[in-house]
Structure 1
Amino acid sequence: MRFFNDSRKTARRMYKKLHLNWLFNTSTFIGNLFIALIISYFFRRLGYGEAVDFVFLVSILSVGLWVTEAIPPFAVGILIISLLSFGFGTDYLLETKFPVELFTGTWTSNVIWLLLGGFFLAEGMRIAGLDRALFRFTVERFGNQEDKLLLGLMFTTAIASMVMSNTATTAMMITSVLPLVHTIGKSSPFSKAILTGIPAAASVGGVGTIIGSTPNAIAVGALQEVGIYISFTDWMAIGFPMVIILVYMFWYFLKSRLKLGEVRLNLDEILQPNQNTDKFKRRAVMITVSVTIIMWLTEYFHGLPVAATSAIPILFLTITQVIRAEHVRKLPWDTLMLVAGGLALGIAIVKVGLAEIVINEINALPISVLFVTIIFSVLAVLVSNVMSNTAAASILVPLAASLALPFGITGPIIVALSCSCAVLLPVSTPANAIAYSTGMMEQKDFRQGGIFFIILAPIFAFGTVMLWYLIAF
């Protein structure tokens, strides 16, 4: 037995020494391409057209590459944009044409700018030592036991996400815990727990208010068009209980799965204020953070788009010399490539009509409206894992609003709530992308949490909304 163990160790050393990882990655990539071609071959026989078939192929290949990690996730994002630009922007492959800027333009989307602004805020907080201050605040309220501290971080994140961007909330919270993560190491179960729990809490927390997540506003707008007005407090009556219950259940899930107990963390060194921090920089960052958050919170009143508001930290922190060129070079630009690719895929799915085809097929099924609504909620969380939740809600909410009553009222809300609970992949939500950008997480670390919400989110969304409908109407 010892001989075989030594043989395996020797084989692993030789494998690494010969740099044969590229062989495994290449074979995995070819395998994903082969599987995608086979699935697309059978899909093509349905006769939806070459444009739909091509986007379906790109979707299957992309999901396979994201799951198997044959190439880095950011490379998948670039591949998506390249394939879509080649397919729809040239005469070599498809007759259907779209402007190449439709796909490459995702680099200028609001999500990308919001991410970039969040990265600047996070880097500024790190430089000024405010990340440690935020972490100290949480520890003072919840203590230094692993399980209680995790609960505090998740609830703090969820509540903040109800009134500000999920992306910005995640950026600040992740920044505040990074000193601890670096201290205990990325292999620690507690590191995995907080880097999984914080982005999930941010995404789920967004369902608590109308302004917490874009799908919420889409649902409210769709209902207003048919004469149904949902007030701010009405939505909170639906969303807030769902946030509290789901975040608590996911905390318990992480605590049990990762075996987090009442271990007390030694946080003395991390909680010590940084005496070397420049006071001017601290003030500059605090003012910048305050102004940026206020602008995000009051977008409804001043009407400035997120892209414009996100320029505030980029401008202020560079003018005050808090962030210099060397800091900018270290920002996680690969995360922006990943998100841009996911946005481009979502645009293509909408433009060629692939998403509408799926929905129409579901509507044609010989089942009751009740089951169609349940299918909508499940489909919402599944589709949002591989495309923008805003795009998914834009497709599904109007279709759900066309259902017979009472599901014409409850359906759009159920879909919106489900869309915000997609956390299976780094590309599923910008919050996940931020956690992944730390370099302390692997794609597989998101899977169990993603499956958790795929199962429970539609159930809670359906149950909560239907209970609200029975009471309100």
Structure 2
Amino acid sequence: MTFFNDSRKTARRIYNKLHLNWLFNTSTFIGNLVIALIISYFFRKLGYGEAVDFVFFISILSIGLWVTEAIPPFAVGILIISILSFGFGTDYLLDTKFPVELFTGTWTSNVIWLLLGGFFLAEGMRIAGLDKALFRFTVRRFGNQEDKLLLGLMFTTALASMVMSNTATTAMMITSVLPLVHAIGKTSAFSKAILTGIPAAASVGGVGTIIGSTPNAIAVGALQEMGVYISFTDWMLIGFPMALILVYLFWYFLKSRLKLKGSSVNLDEILQTNVVVNSFKKKAVVVTVIVTIGMWLTEYFHGLPVAATSAIPILFLTVTQVIAAEHVRKLPWDTLMLVAGGLALGIAIVSVGLAEIVINQINALPISVILVAVIFSILGVLISNVMSNTAAASILVPLAVSLSAPFGITVPIIVALSCSCALLLPVSTPSNAIAYSTGMMEQKDFRRGGIFFIILAPIFAFASVMIWYFLAF
């Protein structure tokens, strides 16, 4: 047995030393391509036409690449736009033609600009030290009792993730609490609660605003293409209460399940850490955050689209030199590439009629449309546990928009909300991965939270969206 173990270790070292990861990725990519071609060959026999067959092939290939990560998710987004432009914009493959701008134009979508504005706000907060100041405020405000401190950390994380990326918020909060976690030990129930509660609050809190989670932006973008405009305030009416309620319920679940009591914890090491903040930059960021979010929330009154007001943080934070060129280069541009590709795929699925074909087949089943909506919400959270929630939303949202009214409006939003609540595995979200990377968590520690949200997230998403729809329309 020792011989075989040593052989495997030696083989692994040789594999890494020779940098053969490219060989694995290449073979995986080719395998996905072959599988997509085989499935598309049988689909072609149904006789829906070359344009539908072509988009179906791209969809299957994209799903495979997103699941296996043979290439990075953002590269899949670029590949989608490239293949669609080549297929529908030239005479080499298809007789059916669409303007190339239909697919490349997703880069100019309101959603892209809204996300970019959010990225600038998050980076400005980080540079000015407001993220750490927010954590220190939480500790001082909620005290040092285990249950109350956990509630404060989770609510702070949830609120921060509504304007910052979930990943950045989790990294900020986990880094801040690590001294405390190391002090009380990995076997402590409070350590488990913190390292489970913070990533969950970051992911679930992200459903509170359009910029809080990428699936939200995908749903808004897809609905916009269908002529349905969801404002920043509209989304908050749906997502904000749902986020806070789910975070509170999960806190209560952790408190009860891990038997947290009112025991006090020593926070001296955290509170004595000095946070050096440039006063001018701090004021500039605070003013920018207030003005930008204020403009987003009052869109109904001034009528300026979010794409226009998203220029406020980009302009203010660069003019005041809070954000410089080197900071801009570090922004998550890969997320924008992935979103643009997902939107392009959704446009193609709808434009060639593939979404209508799928929905017609679903409608032919002996089940009600309400049950179909419930199935979509469950699929959203289940699929997102094993692949990127952005990729899952890119697949499900274009299909959901083709449902009959009112579900063509509500189900895409339900799917987006559900996709952001996948927390079963360490790889389900980057937030989980950050907590797992501390070495203080085991894979099984995520199960309680994952199962909790698999059950409750679709229920709350469905109820929240349907209540909003009937009140708003």
TM class, shorter-length:
0.7 to 0.9
Tell me the number of residue pairs that the alignment of Structure 1 and Structure 2 aligns: 431
Q: SS at 1:11's partner residue?
A: helix
Deviations 1:401-425 (A, max 9, x none): 36xxxxx8xx965664344221389
Would you say the 8 A contact 1:28–1:70 is kept in 2? yes
- Cα 1:306–1:469 shift into 2, 3 Å: closer
Residue 294 (str. 1) matches residue 279 (str. 2)? no
- 8 Å Cα contact 1:115/1:168 also seen in 2: no
Quote the offset at 1:367 in angstroms: 3.4
Q: Deviations over 1:70-120 (max 9, x none)?
A: 111111111111111111111111111111112112122122212211221
Counterpart pick for 1:180 among 155, 176, 182: 176
Match of 1:429?
none
Counterpart of 1:274 in structure 2 is 275
Is structure 2 residue 402 aligned with structure 1 residue 401?
A: no
Q: What residue number does 2:53 align with?
A: 53
Aligned equivalent of 1:81? 81
CA contact (8 A) 1:203 1:421 kept: no
Is structure 2 residue 345 aligned with structure 1 residue 348? no
Q: Distance in 1 between matches of 2:305 and 2:199?
A: 29
CA-to-aligned-CA distance 1:307-350 (integer Å, 9 cap, x gap): 11111111111111111112222222222212211121122112
**SS in structure 2 of the partner of residue 365 of structure 1:** coil
**Segment drifting more, 365-374 vs 257-266:** 257-266
Which digits, 9 at most, give the CA deviation of each residue in 1:438-460, with x for residues without a partner? 9x89xxx9x98888756643344
Q: Structure 2: which amino acid aligns with 1:112?
A: I
Residue 3 of structure 1 is matched in structure 2 by 3
Structure 1 residues 301 and 392: CA distance shift in structure 2, 3 A: farther
Alpha-carbon distance in 2 for matches of 1:368, 1:218? 24
Partner residue of 1:364? 364
Letter in 1 for 2:173: V
Aligned to 2:213: none
1:102 aligns with 2:71: no
Residues 97-246 of structure 1 aligned to structure 2 (within 5 Å): 97-142=97-142, 151-156=151-156, 158=158, 166=162, 168=164, 170=166, 173-174=169-170, 176-177=172-173, 179-180=175-176, 193=196, 196-205=199-208, 242-244=242-244, 246=246
Query: Residue 421 of structure 1 corresponds to which residue in structure 2?
Result: 418
Answer whether contact 2:88 2:100 (CA < 8 A) is retained. yes
Provide the rounded CA distance (Å) in 1 between the counterparts of 2:170 and 2:264.
Answer: 21
Q: More deviation in 100-109 or 379-388?
A: 379-388
Q: Which residue of 2 aligns with 1:35?
A: 35
Q: 1:240 to 1:351 in 2, by over 3 A?
A: same
SS state at 2:365 partner: coil
- The residue aligned with 2:71 is 71
CA distance in 1, matches of 2:432, 2:356: 32
Is the CA contact (8 Å cut-off) linking 2:33 and 2:61 kept in structure 1? yes
Pair 1:148–1:354, CA change in 2 (3 A): farther
Structure 2 unaligned runs (5+)? 211-215, 424-428
Which AA in structure 1 matches 2:137? F
| Aligned pairs (5 A) from 1:247-266 | 247-248=247-248
Measured after TM superposition, the shift of residue 56 of structure 1 is: 1.4
What is the deviation of 1:274?
2.2
Paired position in structure 2 for 1:333 = 333
Aligned CA distance change for structure 1 residues 374 and 58 (closer, same or farther; 3 Å): same
Question: Are residues 350 and 155 of structure 1, via their aligned partners in 2, closer, same or farther at CA, if it must alter by over 3 Å?
Answer: farther
TM (normalized to structure 1)? 0.72
- Tell me the SS of whatever aligns to 1:420: helix
- Aligned equivalents of 1:250, 1:459: Cα separation in 2: 14
Matches of 2:421 and 2:458, distance apart in 1: 15
Kindly provide the CA deviation profile for residues 246-281 of structure 1, in whole angstroms up to 9, marking residues without a partner as x: 435556889999999999696835873423x32111
Q: Deviations over 1:151-198 (max 9, x none)?
A: 54443455688xxxx45575884575375389889x998897467424
C-alpha contact (below 8 Å) 2:166/2:203 kept by paired residues: no
Query: 3-state DSSP class of the match of 1:46?
Result: coil
> 1:141 offset after TM fit, Å?
3.9
Whether contact under 8 Å (1:422, 1:453) holds in the other structure is no
Distance 1:104 1:51, change over 3 A: same
Q: Deviations over 1:4-24 (max 9, x none)?
A: 222221111111111110111
Question: Counterpart of 1:401 in structure 2: which amino acid?
Answer: A
From the superposition, tell whether residues 315 and 206 of structure 1 become closer, same or farther in structure 2 (CA, over 3 Å).
closer
Indicate the SS of the match to 1:337: helix
Distance of 2:23 and 2:455 partners within structure 1: 36
Is contact 2:381-2:454 (8 Å) kept?
Answer: yes
The sequence identity of aligned pairs, in percent, is 66
What is the DSSP-based 3-state SS (H/G/I as helix, E as strand, rest coil) of the residue aligned with 1:421? helix
Structure 2 CA distance, aligned partners of 1:192 and 1:83? 42
- Letter paired with 1:77: G
Counterpart amino acid of residue 423 in structure 1: S
State whether residues 205 and 243 of structure 2, in contact with CA within 8 Å, keep that contact through their aligned partners in structure 1.
Answer: no
Report the CA distance between 1:287 and its aligned residue.
Answer: 1.0
| RMSD of equivalent CA atoms | 4.8
Q: Is the 8 A contact 2:222 2:397 kept in 1?
A: yes
- Contact 1:121 1:313 (C-alpha < 8 Å) held by counterparts: yes
> CA 1:146/1:319 → structure 2, altered by over 3 Å: closer, same or farther?
farther
Residues 292 and 57 (structure 1), Cα distance of their counterparts in 2 relative to 1, 3 Å cut = same
Cα 1:269–1:250 shift into 2, 3 Å: closer
Secondary structure of the residue that 2:70 maps to in structure 1?
coil
Gaps of 5+ in 1: 208-212, 225-231, 403-407, 427-431
Q: When the two structures are superposed, what TM-score results if normalisation uses the length of structure 2?
A: 0.72
**Cα distance, 1:413–1:200 mapped onto 2, change above 3 Å:** same
What SS does the corresponding residue of 2:419 show, helix, strand or coil? coil
